[in-house]
Copies of this chain bind each other. A is one copy, B any other.
Amino acid sequence: MTQQDGALAHVRTHRAEHLEQLKQLVSIPSISTLPEYKGEVGRTAEWVAAELRRIGMTRVDIIATPGHPIVYAEWRGAPGRPTVLVYGHYDVQPVDPVSEWVSGPFDATVRGDNLYGRGASDMKGQILANLKAVEALAQQGPLPVNIKYVIEGEEEIGSLHLGDFIDSRREALRCDVVLNCDAGIHRPDQPAIVYALRGLAYFELEVRSPKQDLHSGLFGGSIRNPAQVLCELIAGMHDADGRVTLPGFYEKVQPLDDEERQVLAQVPHSDEEWREMTGVSALWGEKGYTTVERVGARPTLEINGLISGFTGEGSKTVLPAKALAKLSTRLVPNQDPGQVCGQLSEYLRRHAPEGVTWEVRELVHGAPAVVKRDSPAMRAAASALKEVFGVEPIFKREGGSVPVVGLLQQKLGVDSIMLGFALPDDGIHGPNEKQHLPSFYRGIETYIRFLTAL
C-alpha cells in the first residue's frame, strides 16, 4: 500500500474522531475583533499549536504580536522535495445578531450533514482538514514534502501584524508554494479553484451636526439632521447603473478580457439559485456584467453597518448629534486599496452639505490578487480535486478578500494555491454558519492527494 493509500484508508476510518476534534475547535470563541475575547483567541492558538506538535511538526512556536499571536510550525525532513507553506487563520468573526442562531454560535452542533458554529467553515474546518491529512500521511512514513505552517489570529481584522511577521522571518518562511486553505468549492459535487481574490478597503464614516442630541420637535426642520445627511451621502455613492461614484474609483480597474469572460462563463451558476440561496426576489448589480463577474471581477461598495440616534424599543423624538456608517469597497487588480480612502474623502468634500462635519477612518485594507492558472502546484491541486470529487474543478474568481495572498506574493514572491472546502451557502460572517461535513471529509482526502502529488 502506498503512503497515500494508507493515509486515505486511515482517515476514512477516523471520521467520528475528526468530527469530535472539529467540534472542540469550533467551540472556542476566538473572536479577534472584540477585546473581551482576547483570552479565548490565545486559547485557540494554544489548541492549534498542541495539535501541530501532536501530528509531528518538529518545531512549533506561538509568536506574540502586539495583537493576537501567530502559530508557526515546521517539518523539514524531506530534503530535495518542495516546501509548502500552509496558511490559515484561527480567529473568527463576531456572532451578532445572536438571536438568529438556531443553536449557540459556539455550541458546535451537528444537524443533518452540517456542523453549525461560528468559524466552522471560515476556517476552522479547513485548518483541521489540513492537519488531519498531514497527520494521516505522517503515520504512514515521512511526509512527501517539507511543510511550514503560518496560522494567524487576526485575519478577520485585517491581518494587522502578519506583514511585520513575514518581514522579520523572510528566510525561515522561504517556500516553493503557499497552500492557502481559506477557500471553498462551488457546490458539494463541484470542486473549484479560486485564482483571484478581491481586495478590501473598509471605513467608518461619521457625520456630525449639532453638538449634542436635540429634541426633534423643537429643532427639527431648522438644522441639518446628520442621519439624513449620511443617508443622502450614501445614496449618492452609486449611480443608476449600480456603478460606484467615488472619483477615480474605476481608473485603474483591469477590464475583463474575452478569454477570461469565457472562463467565468463556465462557472456553473444560476441566477435563480443565487436568488433562492440569498432569499431575495430580484438580483441587482453593476449594469453590463453577469452575477459571476459582479461578485468576482468587478469592484463594489457595500454598507456594512449604520447607527444613529435612538434605536431601542419604542419611540424617542431625538434629532441625533451624529450618524455613523461602516462601509467597505471590494477591489480588483490594479486598484490600490491605499487610494480608496482619498477617493472617499474627495467624494465627501464634493458632496457633504454645509452645516455638518464628517470624518473618515480607514479600518482595514488589503490588496487584490490574481495567481497563474497553469503552474505545477495548480495542476496538482486540480488533479487532487478531480480524484476525490470525480469531476474537473472549475476555475473562478472570488468576491471575498484574502489579503494574505497578495501579501505573500509581494513579500515572498510565491503564488498561493487556494484550496479549501467551504460552500457558498455556509453562512460565513452571518448567523448559523456551518461546515458541510461530507465536504470536510473530502477536504482531508484532497489535501492528502495534493501534498503527495506536488
Interface residues of A (CB under 8 A from B): 33-35, 93-94, 96-97, 100, 156-158, 198, 200, 202, 209-225, 227-228, 230-232, 234-238, 242, 274, 278-286, 291, 294-295, 298, 300, 302-321, 323-326, 328, 330, 353-357, 363-364, 398-401, 424, 427-432
State whether A306 touches B227 (Cβ < 8 A).
Answer: yes
Distance A430 CA – B325 CA, assembled complex (angstroms): 21
6 A-B residue pairs with CB within 8 Å: A211-B280, A213-B430, A231-B306, A304-B319, A307-B311, A318-B430
State whether B94 touches A202 (Cβ < 8 A).
Answer: no
State whether A311 touches B305 (Cβ < 8 A).
Answer: yes
State whether A355 touches B284 (Cβ < 8 A).
Answer: yes
State whether B235 touches A231 (Cβ < 8 A).
Answer: yes
Chain A interface main SS type: loop
Distance A225 CA – B305 CA, assembled complex (angstroms): 10
Distance A285 CA – B228 CA, assembled complex (angstroms): 13
State whether A308 touches B305 (Cβ < 8 A).
Answer: yes
Distance A318 CA – B401 CA, assembled complex (angstroms): 13
Distance A133 CA – B340 CA, assembled complex (angstroms): 64
Distance A429 CA – B216 CA, assembled complex (angstroms): 9
State whether B323 touches A363 (Cβ < 8 A).
Answer: no
Which residue on chain B has the smallest CB distance to residue A324? B311
**A217 contacts which of B97, B198, B286, B316 (Cβ < 8 Å)?**
B198
**A303 contacts which of B217, B228, B357, B363 (Cβ < 8 Å)?**
B228
- Asked, given contacts A212-B279, A223-B284, whether A235 binds B238 with beta carbons under 8 Å apart, the answer is no
**A232 contacts which of B156, B235, B326 (Cβ < 8 Å)?**
B235
State whether B303 touches A227 (Cβ < 8 A).
Answer: yes
Distance A328 CA – B282 CA, assembled complex (angstroms): 30
State whether B223 touches A315 (Cβ < 8 A).
Answer: no
State whether B212 touches A427 (Cβ < 8 A).
Answer: yes
Residues in B with CB closer than 8 Å to A211 are: 278-280
Distance A82 CA – B428 CA, assembled complex (angstroms): 71
Distance A294 CA – B317 CA, assembled complex (angstroms): 17
State whether B326 touches A309 (Cβ < 8 A).
Answer: yes
**A284 contacts which of B35, B97, B224, B431 (Cβ < 8 Å)?**
B224
**A355 contacts which of B34, B157, B280 (Cβ < 8 Å)?**
B280
Distance A330 CA – B315 CA, assembled complex (angstroms): 14
State whether A280 touches B316 (Cβ < 8 A).
Answer: no
Distance A286 CA – B221 CA, assembled complex (angstroms): 7
- Asked, given contacts A33-B313, A213-B97, whether A295 binds B218 with beta carbons under 8 Å apart, the answer is yes
